[in-house]
Structure 1
Amino acid sequence: MKEPLAFRLRPELLDDVIGQEHLVGKDKILRRLVEEQRLFSLIFFGPPGTGKTTLAKCLANELKIPYRMFNAVTGNKKDLDGIFLEAKLAPGLVLIVDEVHRLNKDKQDLLLPHVEDGTIILLGATTSNPYFAINPAIRSRCQLLEVKQLSNEDLAIALKRALNHPDGLKDTTIDDDAIAIITHHANGDVRYALNILEICALGSNGHISKETVMQYSQFPNTGMSSGDDGHYDAVSAFQKSIRGSDVDAALYYLARLIQAGDMDSIERRLLVTAYEDIGLGNPAAVARTINAIDAAKRVGFPEGRIPLSVAIVDLCLSPKSKSACEAISEAMSEVENQALPVPEFLRLTPVGLKEEEKYDYGRSDLWPQIQYLPNAIKNKHFYIPNTNSSYESQLAKNLAELRKITKFSKIADLKKKSR
């Protein structure tokens, strides 16, 4: 059976690569590696169909280094053992790993020492965000290179090349407006674009028109799926749009995530954003967001989009306050700087304290006057109110009054004073 068009046209050398000028252009990193005849372990990350694995193969071809392919999902220990044996006979063997973020711990344990000593040069490819999805042990041994989504102009070049390539569609012609629709639907994915072109060529009489494309490609490629993390850019934009109070942008990115059927990311990001960015500015909106997510999960898509859209509008147009988030971040920073001992009278089971020196569970009138922070940071304030909303303005007033109270670090002195 004939291989797919995208497979037949896969570039073999860097000069054949379309786009990715930041990697393959003059004096850019991949060109420099070829010129210097050097190679080290790399991880290419970016959206599907942008040429990550292709770049890895082209690099190995340019440097004339043998390479072996390994899929992190379907490959097994026996496959790796064979590669390791070959690498011992020819150190510096290139191992190209698709779906590198899917390497399980057993495979990583086998692979790491060979990457560490240079017996194997790892070239990984992933649609995931490597800072979250790649195991730190793998990531620390590799350089990370982003492979960017292709422009419509790049895709148009690829489509026209496919009509003139010896292994392409030499007997097929295409209208410019048909190319425009394909590039729009492909959304930066050259493999998707070539697949559309191939099926249109098979379904036509040798000439691809706008109508032909619309018959075989009715829906754009979102570039995302619920099965991998290739959607992280849209997820990031979703969260930042809410933070920036841009309701239209937030709804747009919500629609993209809904189209991908990715309720998990919507739920996680929406909850984090509600608590982090709106927070005490409008606690009721935060609570309503939880209810909206619960309703969306109960009814499922497509109707689930309705309560979610209500939550998005609510959060975007609410007063914002990051004060609580910033307060815990400041507290975490302090703990990382110095982990001070808990004052003796606050410990669960204080040892050696007289009765009058112990925390009194029956004296609620004394509690606001106790110094709870360690002496070294007794005057440290982590929480700084944001007065964008009436709710937090009232909290700020309460806080100002509480901070006027003199604090005691010696319970016995406090008890004597209060008699």
Structure 2
Amino acid sequence: MQQPLAYRMRPTNIDEIVGQTHLVGPQKIIRRMVNAKLLSSMILYGPPGTGKTSIASAIAGSTQYAFRMLNAATDSKKDLQIVAEEAKMSGTVILLLDEIHRLDKTKQDFLLPHLESGRIILIGATTENPYISINPAIRSRAQIFEVKPLAEADIHVALQRALTDKEKGLGDEPVALSEVAEQYLARVTNGDLRSALNALELAVRSTPKDADGVIQIDIDVIEECVQQKALTHDKDGDAHYDVISAFQKSVRGSDVDAALHYMGRLIEAGDLPSISRRLMTMAYEDVGLANPQACARTVEAIAAAKQLGFPEARIPLAVAVIDLCLSPKSNSAISAIDNALADIRAGKAGEVPAHLKDAHYVGADKLGRGVDYKFPHDYPNDWVAQDYLPTKLANAHYYEAKETGKYEQVLKQQLIRLRQAKRS
């Protein structure tokens, strides 16, 4: 039986890895390890289909070490013993241990001395937070790296590679994948490359050739193969951004029913990244200081949604949307930072006052650095009047508080008191 496309397209060396540039890009930690042939055990954690196994196999391919794959939940201690014996004979074995968070104490105790000796280089893979789910004895002997969902651009690269690779991919097939279908496939799989490749292969294998002998893959075919309708995408992709725009404007306008409707369309399309990013933006841009607790609750809801995945993710997402919709609103924070940036970009920066400059080095006092600085905690109420802005901006005011929430009302009163005290 032919292996799945996602399996066949796994990288054989570190240069073939798609995405994860924070780990395998030029001068990054895993590439440095491979180049120097100084590998240490590591734990890779992140969502399914993001390349944990691919990184492990690529490391093995680049270093020419033997590579073995086991599952901590289903493989036995005897399987680990076989790997250990091989390591004694060959010198070093890279062991990818999937679901490492399910490693029991017996297997762990067997592994530890082999990790210490370096005969086995362990690459643990898990979707769970290793700081919570993995035993400290293993965790302390491994570096922990987060593997992130692939960006849409990375998925595009992998899809095109699969379509053109005649040895491992679909290069021998006369496939015409429409631009809209490819865009949709890259977006709807939410950074899961395995799902994207497997859906592509299903589309190719299950679609008959047309009269010209070409396998035409359009968005309707891709929708069927990923089992998610493109409710948020029209044929040129504009509707995706229209729905996101309507989503944010509905929350900003406190229309909870409209906001739930538009988020429902994004949920139906499986677009958790867009929902998460937009919710986080809305929390701090549109609610902000009127209700900081709602911002914190939104962050927690997004984290829960990512942990749960769909369909359960819809529950904390709905809680966050309702919370933000019905919360008091204030855009004072974004207005404040944009006002400050406007001055900076207009060349109104000015020199940092001498009493605020760094004075933590010998000779700083001779340059007048920090000499006249007044330490606020040495004064009543932990405050003393002194200038902080550059001289040319001495009277600039960027933050103007609103009164739509109780918290910001308190901030406004404090701001008024401080400004009056400074003037007097």
TM-score by length of 1: 0.57
Matched-pair contact (CA < 8 Å) for 1:44–1:123: yes
Specify the alignment match of 1:12 in structure 2.
12
Specify the alignment match of 1:186 in structure 2.
189
Instruction: Measure, in 1, the Cα distance between the counterparts of 2:300 and 2:32.
Output: 43
Instruction: Measure, in 2, the Cα distance between the counterparts of 1:121 and 1:29.
Output: 16
Instruction: Measure, in 1, the Cα distance between the counterparts of 2:126 and 2:271.
Output: 17
Equivalence map 1:113-262=2 (5 Å): 113-166=113-166, 167-170=168-171, 171=173, 172-204=175-207, 205=209, 206-219=215-228, 220-221=269-270, 244-246=293-295, 249=298, 253=302, 260-262=310-312
Bigger Rg, structure 1 or 2: 1
Equivalence map 1:189-338=2 (5 Å): 189-204=192-207, 205=209, 206-219=215-228, 220-221=269-270, 244-246=293-295, 249=298, 253=302, 260-262=310-312, 312=323
1:102 to partner: Cα distance: 1.2
Instruction: Measure, in 2, the Cα distance between the counterparts of 1:153 and 1:192.
Output: 15
Matched-pair contact (CA < 8 Å) for 1:247–1:313: no
Task: Specify the code of the residue in structure 2 equivalent to 1:69.
Answer: M
Instruction: Measure, in 1, the Cα distance between the counterparts of 2:325 and 2:19.
Output: 41
Instruction: Measure, in 1, the Cα distance between the counterparts of 2:117 and 2:295.
Output: 50
Equivalence map 1:330-349=2 (5 Å): none
Instruction: Measure, in 2, the Cα distance between the counterparts of 1:247 and 1:200.
Output: 42
Cα distance, 1:19–1:317 mapped onto 2, change above 3 Å: same
Ranges in structure 2 where 5+ consecutive residues have no aligned partner: 210-214, 229-268, 285-290, 330-404, 408-424
Report how many residues are paired. Answer: 273
Instruction: Measure, in 2, the Cα distance between the counterparts of 1:143 and 1:42.
Output: 4
Matched-pair contact (CA < 8 Å) for 2:294–2:323: no
Name the SS for the 1:79 alignment partner: helix
Instruction: Measure, in 1, the Cα distance between the counterparts of 2:164 and 2:13.
Output: 18
Task: Specify the code of the residue in structure 2 equivalent to 1:168.
Answer: G
Instruction: Measure, in 1, the Cα distance between the counterparts of 2:326 and 2:138.
Output: 38
Instruction: Measure, in 2, the Cα distance between the counterparts of 1:112 and 1:28.
Output: 27
Matched-pair contact (CA < 8 Å) for 1:41–1:123: yes
Matched-pair contact (CA < 8 Å) for 1:222–1:256: no
Instruction: Measure, in 2, the Cα distance between the counterparts of 1:131 and 1:251.
Output: 18
Instruction: Measure, in 1, the Cα distance between the counterparts of 2:78 and 2:52.
Output: 25
1:174 to partner: Cα distance: 0.3
Matched-pair contact (CA < 8 Å) for 2:184–2:219: yes
Instruction: Measure, in 1, the Cα distance between the counterparts of 2:326 and 2:160.
Output: 46
1:356-377 residue CA offsets vs partner (Å, 9 max, x unmatched): xxxxxxxxxxxxxxxxxxxxxx
1:56-110 residue CA offsets vs partner (Å, 9 max, x unmatched): 1111111111122111111011111212222233343221111111111221111
**Segment of structure 1 superposing worse, 170-179 or 21-30:** 21-30
Identity percentage of aligned residues:
40
Specify the alignment match of 1:327 in structure 2.
none
Task: Specify the code of the residue in structure 2 equivalent to 1:245.
Answer: A
Task: Specify the code of the residue in structure 1 equivalent to 2:219.
Answer: K
Matched-pair contact (CA < 8 Å) for 2:297–2:320: no
Cα distance, 1:195–1:256 mapped onto 2, change above 3 Å: same
Instruction: Measure, in 1, the Cα distance between the counterparts of 2:93 and 2:38.
Output: 13
Specify the alignment match of 2:417 in structure 1.
none
Cα distance, 1:222–1:118 mapped onto 2, change above 3 Å: farther
TM-score by length of 2: 0.56
Instruction: Measure, in 1, the Cα distance between the counterparts of 2:122 and 2:300.
Output: 40
Instruction: Measure, in 1, the Cα distance between the counterparts of 2:308 and 2:326.
Output: 18
Cα distance, 1:151–1:85 mapped onto 2, change above 3 Å: same
1:16 to partner: Cα distance: 0.9
Task: Specify the code of the residue in structure 2 equivalent to 1:186.
Answer: T
Specify the alignment match of 2:363 in structure 1.
none
1:140-183 residue CA offsets vs partner (Å, 9 max, x unmatched): 00011121211001101111111101122222120000001101
Name the SS for the 1:150 alignment partner: coil
Matched-pair contact (CA < 8 Å) for 1:69–1:97: yes
Ranges in structure 1 where 5+ consecutive residues have no aligned partner: 225-232, 271-304, 319-387, 391-419
Instruction: Measure, in 1, the Cα distance between the counterparts of 2:137 and 2:296.
Output: 40
1:123 to partner: Cα distance: 1.2
Instruction: Measure, in 2, the Cα distance between the counterparts of 1:317 and 1:14.
Output: 50
Instruction: Measure, in 2, the Cα distance between the counterparts of 1:99 and 1:23.
Output: 21
